[in-house]
Amino acid sequence: MTGFRHNKVIERLAAGEHVFATFSAADPTAAVELTTTDYDGVVFEMEHKPWDINALKDSFQYLLSRRQVFEADSLAPAVTPMVRIPANGAEKAQWHAKQALDLGAFGIIWPHVSTVEEARNAVAACRYPRLPDTALYEPAGLRGDGPHAATRYWGISNIEYYAKADVWPLAEDGEILVGLMIEDQLGIKNLPDMLDQVPGIGLILIGEGDMSQELGFPRQYEHPRVLECKRRILDICNERGIAVGHPHVTAGNVKQVLDDGYRFLMSAPVRTYPGLEKARELTGRA
């Protein structure tokens, strides 16, 4: 199994492909349902939902299917688990990232990152320390050493994990994806400096909800001012070869999302009830 990627999201981004992902609550039932989908990755949503570390641990386990692992002849989960942590970038809550990574997360999404300092903290919190005279020193790692649950989840030894658990694309073979959410005007203003001064940012995710709130057009994602801000983010990232994520992809907007240049597409799973709907129609209760 030498040379294969544990992180299928990074594998597709590195190949210049699109990634299909979704948000999900840290819930074992939801995790089981995701195993039968064609998503490349899932972001367990813990910013606006409770930070329940035990539920997150269980969700990671239930996301695995023994048959999928056997048939794929690969240790990589079919759906790559990532976590959106609760703290905004300015709060610099490194412990949330540390706990999620120590359970086996393959990526951390940091909400509301607005400055170079916050971006550097986000990347550093996902890296182990290195001596200043070693290669790939910056941003200097801050992550504490306790990956025993992660190594079991990844199916590798501690030494193998240390070799792989660095951030991509700073480390070419790194398996940890650091995603920053840009959600305000300050973040847009500072985004070029973030990307130019902080190596290791693998994804920018547009936070159009908070952005539209700040602009005074709550949840009006197609408002010209909101679209202008999203276009600026896309242009800045495209100039630097950084993938941009769209958090609200639907059947109605996906063509436009692709035309705009987004490469990380997040769509919500939809539960349908065709039997109920047909029965209501036939009984006059539709």
Q: How many Å apart are CA 272 and CA 140, to the nearest integer?
A: 48
Residue 55 belongs to domain with CATH number: 3.20.20.60
pLDDT at residue 3, as a whole number: 58
Contacts of 140 (CB under 8 A, 6+ apart): 124, 127, 129, 130, 132
Residues 21/246, Cβ–Cβ less than 8 Å: no
Bridge partners (DSSP) of residue 203 are 179, 243
User: Which residues span the domain enclosing 29?
Assistant: 8-282
CA 277 to chain centre: 35
Q: How many Å apart are CA 11 and CA 282, to the nearest integer?
A: 48
Q: Looking at the domain assignment, is residue 2 inside a domain?
A: no
Residues 208/232, Cβ–Cβ less than 8 Å: no
First to last CA, the chain: 54
Q: Looking at the domain assignment, is residue 1 inside a domain?
A: no
What is the residue-level pLDDT of the chain in tens, covering all 286 positions?
Answer: 445 799 999 999 999 999 999 999 999 999 999 998 999 999 999 999 999 999 999 999 999 988 888 888 888 899 999 999 999 999 999 999 999 999 999 999 999 999 999 999 999 999 999 888 888 899 999 999 999 999 999 999 999 999 999 999 999 999 999 999 999 999 999 999 999 999 999 999 999 999 999 999 999 999 999 999 999 999 999 999 999 999 999 999 999 999 999 999 999 988 889 999 999 999 999 8
Tokens of 267: 């769509």
DSSP the chain: -TT--S-HHHHHHHTT--EEEEEE-S-HHHHHHHTTS--SEEEEE-SSS---HHHHHHHHHHH--HHHHHHHTSSS-SSEEEEE-SS-GGG--HHHHHHHHHHT-SEEEESS--SHHHHHHHHHTTS----TTSTT-PSPP---S--HHHHHHHTS-HHHHHHH-SEETTSTT--EEEEEEE-SHHHHHHHHHHHHH-TT--EEEE-HHHHHHHHT-TT-TTSHHHHHHHHHHHHHHHHHT-EEEEEEE-TTTHHHHHHHT--EEEE------HHHHHHHHHTT--
- The four Cα atoms 129, 135, 137, 139 give a dihedral, to 10 degrees, of -120
Number of domains the chain is built from: 1
Q: Looking at the domain assignment, is residue 3 inside a domain?
A: no
Residues 139/198, Cβ–Cβ less than 8 Å: yes
Q: Looking at the domain assignment, is residue 124 inside a domain?
A: yes
pLDDT at residue 30, as a whole number: 95
Contacts of 50 (CB under 8 A, 6+ apart): none
Q: Looking at the domain assignment, is residue 274 inside a domain?
A: yes
Q: Looking at the domain assignment, is residue 247 inside a domain?
A: yes
Q: Looking at the domain assignment, is residue 130 inside a domain?
A: yes
pLDDT at residue 72, as a whole number: 84
Residue 185 CB neighbour total at 10 angstroms: 14
pLDDT at residue 4, as a whole number: 78
Residues 130/137, Cβ–Cβ less than 8 Å: yes
Site of tokens 């972001």:
43
Q: Looking at the domain assignment, is residue 169 inside a domain?
A: yes
